[in-house]
Amino acid sequence: MNIYQLTVNFEEKGKAQIQLPIAGGESVLEVCLDNGIDLQHNCGGVCGCSTCHVYVTKGMDNIQEISDKEEDFIDRAVSPKISSRLGCQCIVINGNIEVTIPNQSEFLGH
CATH of the domain at 90: 3.10.20.30
pLDDT for residue 38: 87
Would 101 be classed as within a structural domain?
no
Would 105 be classed as within a structural domain?
no
Residue 1 burial (C-beta neighbours within 10 Å; 0-12, 13-18, 19+)? exposed
Which residues does residue 20 pair with via DSSP β-bridges, in sequence order? 6
Strands (DSSP E) along 11-76, which ranges? 18-23, 53-58
Would 37 be classed as within a structural domain?
yes
Given a contact cutoff of 8 angstroms between Cβ atoms, the answer to whether 56 and 98 are in contact is yes
Q: What averages of pLDDT result for each successive group of 10 residues across the chain (110 residues)?
A: 95 94 98 95 95 97 97 93 97 97 68
pLDDT for residue 89: 98
Which residues does residue 92 pair with via DSSP β-bridges, in sequence order? 63
pLDDT for residue 106: 61
pLDDT for residue 15: 92
How many structural domains does the chain have?
1
Percent helix / strand / coil, the chain, rounded to 5: 20, 30, 55
Would 10 be classed as within a structural domain?
yes
Global pTM value: 0.92
pLDDT for residue 108: 52
